[in-house]
Amino acid sequence: AQKITQTQPGMFVQEKEAVTLDCTYDTSDPSYGLFWYKQPSSGEMIFLIYQGSYDQQNATEGRYSLNFQKARKSANLVISASQLGDSAMYFCAMREGRTDSWGKLQFGAGTQVVVTP
């Protein structure tokens, strides 16, 4: 069963505007972590932001923030003040908290973001 769902296959956003990328997840483990990665056309996976299930505050990293709604099992990425260099594929991923799952990420299908001038 799909554990990470990204419902937006693609989005267009104008430069300098904010954009929200949706991610919902499914787990029964009370301990888990949520990741967002950016994959530009060059192909590398770039870590953006992390949110632990026990973290009280929403994670922020520069222009990236994670809107974590635990009860709704939602972990949306917000990119503020979009730049042309933000054009890329964005993946949401989850790791469940058991030690034997520490090296196992489950990924969503991704959202392609195109930033227009």
Q: Which of 52, 58, 74, 87 binds other proteins (CB under 8 A)?
A: 52
Does 87 bind other proteins (CB under 8 A)? Our answer is no
Q: What is the size of the binding site for other proteins (CB under 8 A)?
A: 24
The whole-angstrom separation of Cα 21 and Cα 7 is 9
- Give 90-108 as a DSSP string: EEEEEEESSGGGTT--EE-
Per CB under 8 A, residues contacting other proteins are 4, 33, 35, 37, 43-45, 47, 50, 52, 91, 93, 95, 99-100, 102-110
